[in-house]
A and B are shown apart, each in its own frame.
Chain A
Amino acid sequence: MPPLLDVRGLRVYYMLGDEAVKAVDGVSLKVEKGEVLGLVGESGSGKSTLGLAIVRLVPHPGRILEGSVLFKGRDLLKLPEQELSKVRGGEIGMVFQDPLTSLDPLMRVGEQLVETIMAHSQLTKEEAKEKAVKYLELVGISAERFYDYPHQFSGGMRQRAMIAMAISTSPSLLIADEPTTALDVIVQSQIMELFQSLREKLGLSVILITHDISVAMEVADKIAVMYAGHLVECAPSETLYDSPLHPYTQGLLKAVPNIELKDMKLVYIPGTPPDLANPPPGCRFHPRCPRAMDVCRREEPPEVEVGETTVKCHLYR
């Protein structure tokens, strides 16, 4: 059976004057039905751009140069705009980082939910409203808040409302871009629990985009690590945790505070991510890599399969 989502060789550049910022540079990725994929990377690694490019929402001056995004067998990059907008918010739901600014401040939350439902169905306004109330309750917002405006909601409630909107059209894939980053810690874990329960109830596939590998570890079946526009490693969560292959992933995992360890010292990866307008030749991680070899400076590493892991590194050729 083909995967639900199959991204192949995707390249997204931001054109700034004479320069091209290579935000996503040849990324391939699969998401199976019912699977939760954690897409992990530092800010500026291209993970958010990748999430937006899947539904062709890359902001100006970004351009999708090549690649394909096969969703249920159709290439979303070749779909006419009108059909694509049915997929967006219909079969693929999205949740963004900042719930404070992701709702129209002048429209009642319930109405925004109704609007979304009606855009993807033939329901009447009354039926859509009924469904909207049902979904609000599903994410833990009582029906009486239907007529509230966004500013009357707390941050956590707004994110719940965004999630309700994203799932109200029964999507098969949910793309969540840092859905908890803007929230405080307690609300964060509540929202993550909500994701878990929804996934079990609705059988959703989820792409969870996050900079925090420990968050991804908690909920994801599979983790993909991005660095400087490249996908450097992709493996099932446990495998990745037990035996990370790419030096960058190893560094990331060392940087996670681990309560089990007696030694609470955090290890950071020295150096900074490269300028994506002029990335270093060869492997983009080599200037920061503790195990860099000569070949790393010259040749871009191929993607190598090692057991269940796919890794883009010269060490495993």
Chain B
Amino acid sequence: MRLIDPLARAIRRYWRVKRVDLALTLTGAIIVAWIIAMAALAPVVAPYDPYVSVDDVLLPPSREHLMGTDNLGRDVFSRILYGSRTVMAVVLASTMLSMGVGTLVGLVSGYFGGLVDRVLSLVMDSIYAFPGLILAIAVAAMLGPGVSNTVVSISIVYIPTYFRMIRGQVLSVKSQLYVEAATALGAPHKVIMLKYILPNVIPVLPVVFSMNVADAVLTEAGLSFLGLGVPAPTPDWGFDLRNGQRNLLAGYWWGSTFPGFMIVLLAVGFSLLGEGLNELISPERR
């Protein structure tokens, strides 16, 4: 009883203080999980082939076509289901790439310090200051169309985010006693970085990841809306939104609205998840 009482009290207090954050995290997690499930089950659930015309063009939502058909007679609902695969794949691949590169460069920069660190920091700060979407547009335009090119264009935008976080973390870990001891004992740089420093900076990654993945969703959607993302006819929410806009002014709202809502839903889901997690993990109370 002695042990359980304070524990129960701690949980109750935690719940009272963090109730809102827990609710946000949970809501975000449910949205994201739902869209991931959509992506995974798309071939099973989708009623039609998303690539081909299956009916008349621009049919309004009905029992046969839950979200209507687009200007080429393709089923909007099926395209949305398959579109979640494109978005998820591109966004996850590009954030992973940013994470890998950002972590590596941040580790090296923070560990070695000196001129290398100063130059790398300046470069990263400059990229960070530059409008993300415009940078992605420039890179995408130069690299040309293709899924992997889109992934690279988006990932460049987010490298500085990881770099800054990891570098800061490395700087604080570097001065810890056990790292200094390892250095004094003459352990090689590679060993110190990978064995002593890396494990201590990795815990910040999930928070940074969850915070910028929402932004990456919007950048992906933006690129594909502007025609610089994954090439047509691959189902992609941003591109489909743009495609539907042409007919919007004539009153055919369903072709653009549904993909648009999905983009917002996914971005909100990731944002809630990231924001909630960040608040739950961060030690200081709001």
Interface residues of A (CB under 8 A from B): 17-18
State the CA gap A17–B9 with chains docked (Å): 10
Closest CB of chain A to B71's CB: distance in Å? 57
B189 within 8 A of A: no
* 6 smallest beta-carbon distances between A and B, as pairs: A17-B13, A18-B9, A18-B13, A17-B16, A18-B12, A17-B17
Interface residues of B (CB under 8 A from A): 9, 12-13, 16-17
State the CA gap A18–B13 with chains docked (Å): 8
Closest CB of chain A to B65's CB: distance in Å? 54
Q: Can you name the residue of chain A whose Cβ is closest to the Cβ of B12? A: A18
Residues of B within 8 A of A18 (CB): 9, 12-13
State the CA gap A18–B16 with chains docked (Å): 10
Residues of A within 8 A of B16 (CB): 17
Closest CB of chain A to B29's CB: distance in Å? 27
Closest CB of chain B to A59's CB: distance in Å? 16
Closest CB of chain B to A109's CB: distance in Å? 34
A-B contact pairs, 6 of them (CB 8 A): A17-B13, A17-B16, A17-B17, A18-B9, A18-B12, A18-B13
Q: Can you name the residue of chain B whose Cβ is closest to the Cβ of A17? A: B13
State the CA gap A17–B18 with chains docked (Å): 12
State the CA gap A147–B9 with chains docked (Å): 54
Q: Can you name the residue of chain A whose Cβ is closest to the Cβ of B14? A: A17
Residues of B within 8 A of A17 (CB): 13, 16-17
Closest CB of chain B to A145's CB: distance in Å? 39
State the CA gap A17–B8 with chains docked (Å): 13
Q: Can you name the residue of chain A whose Cβ is closest to the Cβ of B9? A: A18
State the CA gap A17–B13 with chains docked (Å): 6
Q: Can you name the residue of chain A whose Cβ is closest to the Cβ of B17? A: A17
Closest CB of chain B to A275's CB: distance in Å? 15
Residues of A within 8 A of B17 (CB): 17
Q: Can you name the residue of chain B whose Cβ is closest to the Cβ of A16? A: B13
State the CA gap A18–B9 with chains docked (Å): 8
Closest CB of chain A to B286's CB: distance in Å? 13
State the CA gap A219–B16 with chains docked (Å): 48
State the CA gap A213–B17 with chains docked (Å): 40
State the CA gap A17–B285 with chains docked (Å): 13
State the CA gap A6–B13 with chains docked (Å): 38
State the CA gap A18–B5 with chains docked (Å): 13
State the CA gap A17–B12 with chains docked (Å): 9
State the CA gap A17–B17 with chains docked (Å): 9
State the CA gap A70–B218 with chains docked (Å): 61
State the CA gap A280–B172 with chains docked (Å): 42
